[in-house]
Amino acid sequence: MAAMNFDEPMLNLATILIAGIVGGELASRLRLPRVTGWIGTGIVLRVLALPGLEPGSLGDFSPFTDFVLGFISFTVGATLHLHSLRNAERRLMLLVLGEALITPTVVFCALHFIGGLDAEVSVLLAVIAIAGAPGTTLVVVREARARGLLTGTLIAGIGLIDMVAVGAFAFWESLLRERSHEWQDAMLALGTEFGLALGIGLGCSLVAVGLTRRLVRPNFVGPTTVAVILGAWGLAQVADVSSILACTFAGIALSNIQHDTARSAEAYLQPFSGVLFAGFYTIVGMRLDFAVVIPMAGVVFLYFAARLGGKSLSAYLSMSAARVPRSVRNHIGLALLPHGGVAVGLLFFTQAQPQLAGVADTVVAIGLAGLAVNQLIGPSATRLSLQRAGEVGQDRPRLLDFLEEQRIVLNINGTKHELIQALADRLYATTPMLVPKAEFIASVLAREDEASTCLGRGLMIPHAMVPEGQEVCGVLGLNTEGLDLGAYDGRPVHAVVLLAAPESDRQRHLQILSAFASALTKDENLRDQLYHARSAGHAYEILHADESDALNYYLDEAIERVGRDR
């Protein structure tokens, strides 16, 4: 009987998935992030060296790991929706600036002046230290069901930080590879890298936009965007530029050109994300060789400590300058600790350059050893930061979640009573309600007769309490020219939000109502966009720009202020 051949990638991938899933569940029962269990399982599999799972066979899984890394990069890029980040610009700019300057400076000084490493080794490790781990961060945030200012800043910032890491590495690698001190050449190499990656990402996104607008049916938007990820990664490989950058730019472009398509792609892959991440991070663990940690434990610890210190210092100073709440300023540095795919890619790129042969082995050995430590500790550090900031378990439904496109009405008109009647008709046509429509309308009108709900600056929010068991629901009516409804400030009313809130949590929903009104009336840019929405779909995009959109941050902060003022 012929010997069994275990060199079958599909069978081996199944083994990796099963092992990773079990390891992740065991870690979860120990109250550790699943990603820690996945990586730890990979390390164990490497030590066991089962047939078909030896370190030398990991190249067989490159198509799988490349796709997952491309999906992570695309997803992170898609979070950089410019409309959503308009109120976060200052803190993100300062965070990225701190990461670009402070973190590599701290790491370089520690390795060169304390550790005694060669300057070329130190500078390469310093710029690699900038890189984060978007995939690990996303997994931890989703698993912790975290939401808040720190979470939003972390998710938006991690993609920008990785782009800075790639740019800084391209600049210094160009100088060192050519042994040239002509910074103009390095800047040209940097511009070429980013320019080609941007062109590839933008081109792939434009193809997807054209297809989805003219040919592809809605149920194939997700698969089309998967093709964008594959295409961006593959074209970048052909052009010999960063595939991670190309996929990130593809996400940024698609999110800002046609945001619904990017959201559809994420929703399409969401059910498979557990399988993708479990397999990916188990394979990442299999790539980590802890045997290299022991001989150089001292310098690896120095690298780890310097990177943690640099990120903590840069985050603290940048968030202090941005005047963010203490919960963000004090904890975001630790949340940035995970080190992931971009760092691995930069290390392997260093190893592949013949001109860097003199320093590559040292850089890769220290970098991978530090990465191994970071991958095991980093996810728990991020989870701890989210807990200390009070954002774990806060991924609850938001006030605006009910405002789907079908619950937005344009060109409303009439008196107050006529408007409430028309909006109630739309509410009952689109939402299961536990109270008869006539009774609900009577309650709203009685509340309106008691005191006007015209809140000024074009906003009116008529509302009524409904029985327990009814979710918060409502409809939005818009009129571009504005209606004279007797607002106290004499301004025309452009937006009418008819709300139904459960009686069981009356005080909480009144606080949310007040916070929403405060947020909308104080944000002139958002208000102007909403009041002049071209369609119900356009209004939906304004209100639901992204999970971390600025309006929801305004709402969170306003609710906190209302709670403190009680």
Domain-terminating residue out of 339, 358, 388: 388
Instruction: Provide the 3-class DSSP secondary structure of residue 464.
Output: strand
Report how far residue 500's alpha carbon sits from residue 465's, in angstroms, rounded to the nearest whole number: 6
Q: Are residues 233 and 206 in the same domain?
A: yes
Mention every residue, 6+ apart, whose C-beta is less than 8 A from residue 457. 489, 491, 521, 527
For the chain, the 3-state helix, strand and coil shares in percent, each to the nearest 5, are 70, 5, 20
Angle formed by the axes of helices 149-177 and 243-257, nearest 10°: 140
Taking a C-beta distance cutoff of 8 angstroms, is the pair 364, 350 a contact? yes
Q: Is residue 485, in this structure, part of any structural domain at all? A: yes
pTM: 0.61
Q: Are residues 336 and 436 in the same domain?
A: no
- Give CA–CA dist 44/49, Å, rounded: 9
| pLDDT (0 to 100) of residue 178 | 56
Residues 442 and 517 in one domain: yes
pLDDT of residue 130: 93
User: Is residue 8 in some structural domain?
Assistant: no
Residue 376's closest CA among 32, 127, 144? 32
Is 282 a member of any domain? yes
Same domain for 415 and 269:
no
- 347 with 411, same domain: the answer is no
What is the reported pLDDT for 548? 35
Q: Is 241 within a domain?
A: yes
- The dihedral over CA atoms of 270, 272, 277, 282, expressed in degrees to the nearest 10, equals 170
Shared-domain flag, residues 405 and 384:
no
Does residue 474 share a domain with residue 380?
no
Residues 382 and 417 in one domain: no
Domain that holds residue 513: 399-565
- Do 346 and 420 lie in one domain? The reply is no
The DSSP result for 81-141, as a single string, is: -TTTTTTTHHHHHHHHHHHHHHHHHHHHHIIIIIS---HHHHHHHHHHTT---HHHHHHHH
Check whether residue 74 and residue 113 sit in a common domain: yes
507: domain CATH number is 3.40.930.10
| Beta bridge mates, 502 | 466
| pLDDT for the residue 361 | 74
Asked if residue 245 and residue 303 are part of one domain, the reply reads yes
Query: Exposed, middle or buried, 290 (CB in 10 Å: 0-12/13-18/19+)?
Result: middle
Examine residue 5 and state whether it is found in any structural domain, yes or no: no
Q: What is the 8-class DSSP label of residue 396? A: P
CA 39/CA 281 separation, integer angstroms = 5
CATH code assigned at 259:
1.20.1530.20
Neighbour tally for 63: CB within 10 Å = 12
According to DSSP, residue 220 is labeled: G
> Which of 106, 28, 443 minimizes the C-alpha distance to 274?
28
Residues 93 and 159 in one domain: yes
Among the candidates 364, 388, 412, a domain finishes at 388
β-partners of residue 478 are 410, 495
Domain count, the chain: 2
* Domain final residue pick, 359, 388, 417: 388
Domain membership of residue 394 (yes or no) is no
Structural domain contains residue 9: no
Closest CA to 371 of 419, 393, 338, 345: 338
Start-to-end Cα distance in the chain:
80
Residue recorded with tokens 């710029």: 127
CB 457 within 8 A of CB 491: yes
pLDDT in tens, the chain (566 residues): 445 555 788 888 899 999 999 998 998 888 777 877 888 898 888 888 888 788 778 778 888 888 888 887 887 788 777 755 655 677 888 999 999 999 999 999 999 999 999 898 899 999 999 988 877 888 888 888 887 778 878 888 887 888 888 778 877 876 776 555 566 776 777 788 888 989 999 999 999 888 887 787 766 777 888 888 999 999 998 988 878 788 888 988 888 887 767 766 666 777 777 788 888 888 877 876 666 667 778 898 999 999 999 999 999 999 899 877 787 889 999 999 988 767 877 776 776 667 777 787 788 778 877 877 887 788 889 999 999 988 887 665 555 667 776 788 888 998 889 999 999 998 888 787 888 899 999 999 998 888 888 877 888 888 888 877 677 788 999 998 889 888 888 889 998 989 887 776 666 566 656 666 666 666 677 778 788 887 676 676 677 554 334 444 444 444 444 344 44
* Chain centroid to CA 299: 32
- What is the per-residue pLDDT for 442? 92
Q: Which of the 8 DSSP states describes residue 290?
A: G
